[in-house]
């Protein structure tokens, strides 16, 4: 079982509010990721980080921002939530292993609903 945690698990919030989705891992992994997933659709990478003070945008354009001040912590922030941000947000981390290459471990996800 992977030691990667996300809070909150569920969030319903009004339009225009600022929100931060928390992600923490205790495995010491350098690489961390944020994915967005809509029902019945594939996961889309929105942010990733190689390590502390490193953040990059992913394939899917997102109005969210991320920070990586500590290895174990990779929060995602939306300055002004909109209904179009309603989705499931999954955090993941990875390490290089000789037998599995970059094995990714996923958190349980945050289901965000913006009304």
Partner 1 sequence: KNQVEQSPQSLIILEGKNCTLQCNYTVSPFSNLRWYKQDTGRGPVSLTIMTFSENTKSNGRYTATLDADTKQSSLHITASQLSDSASYICVVFDRGSTLGRLYFGRGTQLTVWP
**Mask 25-64, x = binds partner 1 (CB under 8 A)?**
------x--------xxxxxx--x-x--------------
- Exposure string for 82-91, b = 16+ CB within 10 A, e = fewer: eeebebebbb
Using alpha carbons, list the distances in angstroms from residue 84 to 6, 24, 71, 72, 96: 21, 25, 30, 29, 35
Residues touching partner 1, count (CB under 8 A): 26
Least CB distance to partner 1 at residue 79 (A): 25
Return all residues near 95 (Cβ < 8 A) that are at least 6 apart: 27, 29, 30, 31, 102, 103
Contact segment (CB under 8 A) with partner 1 among 1-9, 13-21, 63-71, 72-80 equals: 1-9
**Mask 9-28, x = binds partner 1 (CB under 8 A)?**
x-------------------
Residues that bind partner 1 in the complex, under the rule CB under 8 A:
2, 4, 9, 31, 40-45, 48, 50, 90, 92, 99-109, 111
């Amino acid at each position: 079982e992977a030691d990667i945690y996300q809070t909150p698990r569920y969030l319903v919030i009004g339009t225009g509010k600022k929100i931060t989705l928390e992600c923490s891992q205790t495995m010491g992994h350098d690489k961390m990721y944020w994915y967005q997933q809509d029902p019945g659709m594939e996961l889309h990478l929105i942010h990733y980080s190689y390590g502390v003070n490193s953040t990059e945008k992913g394939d899917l354009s997102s109005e969210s921002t991320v920070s990586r001040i500590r290895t174990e912590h990779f929060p995602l922030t939306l300055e002004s939530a909109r209904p179009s941000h309603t989705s499931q947000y999954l955090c993941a981390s990875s390490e290089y292993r000789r037998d599995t290459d970059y094995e990714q471990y996923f958190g349980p996800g945050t289901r965000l609903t913006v009304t």
